[in-house]
């Protein structure tokens, strides 16, 4: 299988490096990061020594994306739970509501 464009080998290793370093920082200081890129950049400067401005920006961007995904995932999970609770409540309400039954007279009385 051939690809139309060759992926530079250096690109994948730098992405791996950014993820690895960012995950190391996240393991230790997860609670200090937020969904704001500028705040994460400042926090990263305080917590770790990153000599390259570009590397620091990419790490802060990856951390921000990671935190946003976690927040979105938690919100989706909470919404799913609420929907399931509403559905079970509706089912229980339907079971408890008396249903009207139409009874037809099978033997009509003739006068």
- pLDDT (average), residues 87-96: 66
DSSP three-state, residue 26 = helix
Asked whether residue 2 carries a pLDDT value surpassing 50, the answer given is no
Average pLDDT in the chain: 80
51-61 pLDDT tens trace: 999 999 999 99
**Hey, what are 106's tokens?**
């099978």
CATH assignment, 9-92: 1.10.60.20
User: Do 59 and 50 meet the contact criterion of CB atoms below 8 Å apart?
Assistant: yes
> Does the predicted model carry a pTM greater than 0.85?
no
Asked whether residue 45 carries a pLDDT value surpassing 90, the answer given is yes
Which whole-number Å values give the CA distances from 48 to 71, 73, 84, 93, in the listed order? 24, 27, 43, 56
Q: How many CB atoms lie within 10 A of CB 18?
A: 16
DSSP three-state, residue 62 = helix
Domain boundaries, the chain: 9-92
């Amino acid at each position: 299988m051939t690809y139309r464009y060759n992926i530079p080998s250096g690109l994948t290793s730098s992405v791996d490096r950014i993820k690895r370093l960012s995950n190391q920082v996240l393991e230790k200081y997860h609670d200090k990061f937020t969904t704001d890129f500028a705040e994460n950049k400042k926090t990263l400067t305080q917590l770790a020594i990153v000599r390259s401005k570009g590397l620091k920006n990419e790490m802060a961007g990856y951390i921000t994306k990671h935190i946003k995904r976690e927040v979105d995932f938690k919100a989706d999970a909470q919404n799913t739970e609420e929907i399931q609770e509403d559905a079970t409540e509706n089912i229980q309400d339907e079971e408890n509501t008396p249903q009207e039954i139409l009874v037809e007279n099978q033997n009509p009385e003739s006068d």
